[in-house]
């Protein structure tokens, strides 16, 4: 039996046009989602690459500081007034050449500062009480906590290295470096593009540096 449709061929042509166009309505959101997934993957890869570069730079900085402190622990002397003045002069010149350090110094095992790149008052002590016990328990380069330097009043992160006696495993003092966190902030900004943000935190969750 034949059926007659109002409009005849016109209706059939309209249906064909609609069916032909329908896959486009389906493919457009699928294509858009694929593009979004690609963009997200690229952004993730870029973020990972930037983070790895920052980590690599910080590791290099730690290695350089370890070398500096090890050298100081072997070369410096502070036993009498002449030695002490020479110690301060050497540290002062080194800090002038090294903008990453807010200070360099030597402390005894009670935390009293014996020698510093900057003039100190009598009986000035480190304000990181956990640093010395940690160095004595594990005598190697040790990273301290966020602090405000009692000498420069700048935000710092201390790194410490044992000064040993001639006999093995015998620590007589501790060499330390105060990493200037303002310098670290500037370094992060220089490493990253303007639209990137990264933060460095210590083990207590204190923000040591932020790129913005």
| CA distance linking residue 182 with residue 76, whole number of Å | 28
Mean pLDDT of 83-106: 89
pLDDT at 52: 72
Distances (CA, A) of 36 to 45, 88, 193, 196: 14, 59, 22, 19
Mean pLDDT of 85-91: 87
pLDDT at 175: 93
User: pLDDT-based confidence at 3, cuts 50/70/90?
Assistant: very low
pLDDT tens-digit series, residues 159-177: 999 988 666 667 888 999 9
Mean pLDDT of 73-93: 78
Closest CA to 107 of 119, 98, 120, 116: 116
pLDDT at 161: 92
Hey, is 21 helix, strand or coil?
A: helix
pLDDT at 188: 77
pLDDT tens-digit series, residues 12-36: 555 445 445 555 555 555 666 666 6
User: pLDDT-based confidence at 178, cuts 50/70/90?
Assistant: very high
Average pLDDT of the chain to the nearest whole number: 76
């Amino acid at each position: 039996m034949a059926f007659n449709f109002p409009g005849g061929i016109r209706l059939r042509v309209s249906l064909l046009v609609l069916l032909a166009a329908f896959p486009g309505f389906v493919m457009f959101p699928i294509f858009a989602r694929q593009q979004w997934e690609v963009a997200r993957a690229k952004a993730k890869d870029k973020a990972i690459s930037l983070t790895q570069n920052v980590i690599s730079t910080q590791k290099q900085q730690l290695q350089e500081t370890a070398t500096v402190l090890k050298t100081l622990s072997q070369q410096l002397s502070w036993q009498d007034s002449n030695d002490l003045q020479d110690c301060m002069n050497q540290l002062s010149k080194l800090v002038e050449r090294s903008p990453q350090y807010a200070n360099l110094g030597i402390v005894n095992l009670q935390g009293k500062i014996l020698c510093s790149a900057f003039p100190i008052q009598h009986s000035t002590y480190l304000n990181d009480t956990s640093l010395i016990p940690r160095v004595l328990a594990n005598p190697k380069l040790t990273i301290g906590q966020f602090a405000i330097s009692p000498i420069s009043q700048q935000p710092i992160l201390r790194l410490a290295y044992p000064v040993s006696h001639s006999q093995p495993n015998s620590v007589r003092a501790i060499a330390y470096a105060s990493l200037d966190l303002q310098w670290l902030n500037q370094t992060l900004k220089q490493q990253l593009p303007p639209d990137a943000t990264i933060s460095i935190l210590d083990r207590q969750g204190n923000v040591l540096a932020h790129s913005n």
